[in-house]
């Protein structure tokens, strides 16, 4: 009986610690994606053969046959990639991580997007509309930040996604050798509507001296053409 009580005490104190402990790692800073992994090897974001379901394969073929990049590529209209592609880009646009008490905020320079990851135990509100970034909650498992994201806006090629998509990210600091400390992102993408099985995507991030966030506003081209009088009669909203 005494042992049981002692165990209970230990268990409850561990529970309490889990709730109150400060974050084990501070990820705050500006991070640049990189294809070169911690051992110096070139890495691929996606596995070679995505486990598309047969009907997805057929749908994809039909879509690609009629694909009009001018009209169909959302990124040409300045719409954000959204989750999960937002975290998997390797174009040289940094992401700023701001770690506060019970929140981690990621500001992605490309498309000027903001991810909010709640570590305060809250649940996704009922009826929350799907969004580009989805709804993310996180917790620490030792030195690893685990983030679960649902409520992501469906659609998007070349990697289609449905409202059933669930993305689980594991983020940790790793020794990148000459590259210094690196951020490793391993992401399990689970979408039973389009894929036969969950698959893992991977990305790495580095820090540099003097790396700072810039301003990225995708519609700046349109704005500038407008100021230069190159858009003719075109005025948005009219």
Q: Which residue ranges make up the site for another protein (CB under 8 A)?
A: 28, 68-71, 74, 77-80, 98-100, 103, 105, 107, 111-114, 116, 125, 131-133, 213, 215, 217-220, 222-223, 226-227, 234-238
Residue 35 sits at the vertex; the CA angle it makes with 98 and 200, to the nearest 5 degrees, is 80
Least distance from C-beta 149 to another protein, angstroms?
14
Task: Give 131 or 163: the residue with its C-beta nearer to another protein.
Answer: 131
Element (H, E) at 103: strand 103-108
Q: Which is nearer to another protein, 63 or 234 (CB)?
A: 234
Instruction: Give min distance, CB of 73 to another protein, in A.
Output: 11
Q: Which residue lies nearer to another protein by CB, 43 or 112?
A: 112
Tokens 């300045």: give the residue. Answer: 78
Minimum distance, C-beta of residue 188 to another protein, in the bound complex (Å): 24
Q: Which is nearer to another protein, 197 or 235 (CB)?
A: 235
**Cα separations (Å) of 74 from 117, 132, 194, 218?**
25, 12, 20, 12
Cα separation, 40 vs 179, whole angstroms: 9
Shortest Cβ 205–another protein spacing (Å): 18
The two structure tokens encoding residue 36: 């070169």
Closest CA to 121 of 18, 10, 12: 18
């Amino acid at each position: 009986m005494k042992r049981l009580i002692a165990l209970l005490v230990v268990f409850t104190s561990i529970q309490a610690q889990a709730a109150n402990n400060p974050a084990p790692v501070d990820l705050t800073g500006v991070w640049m994606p990189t294809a070169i992994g911690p051992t110096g090897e070139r890495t691929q974001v996606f596995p070679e053969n995505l486990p598309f379901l047969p009907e997805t394969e057929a749908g994809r073929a039909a879509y690609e046959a009629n694909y009009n990049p001018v009209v169909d590529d959302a990124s040409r209209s300045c719409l954000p990639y959204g989750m999960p592609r937002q975290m998997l880009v390797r174009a040289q646009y940094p992401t700023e991580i701001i770690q506060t008490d019970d929140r981690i905020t990621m500001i992605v320079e490309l498309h000027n997007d903001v991810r909010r990851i709640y570590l305060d135990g809250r649940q996704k509100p009922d009826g929350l509309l799907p969004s580009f970034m989805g709804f993310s909650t996180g917790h620490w498992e030792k030195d690893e930040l685990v983030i679960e994201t649902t409520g992501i806006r469906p659609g998007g090629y070349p990697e289609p996604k449905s409202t059933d998509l669930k993305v689980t990210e594991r983020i940790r600091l790793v020794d990148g050798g000459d590259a210094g400390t690196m951020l490793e992102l391993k992401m399990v993408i689970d979408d039973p509507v389009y894929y036969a099985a969950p698959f893992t995507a991977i990305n790495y991030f580095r820090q540099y001296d003097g790396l700072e966030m810039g301003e990225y506003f995708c519609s700046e081209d349109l704005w500038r053409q407008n100021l230069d009088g190159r858009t003719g009669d075109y005025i948005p909203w009219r």
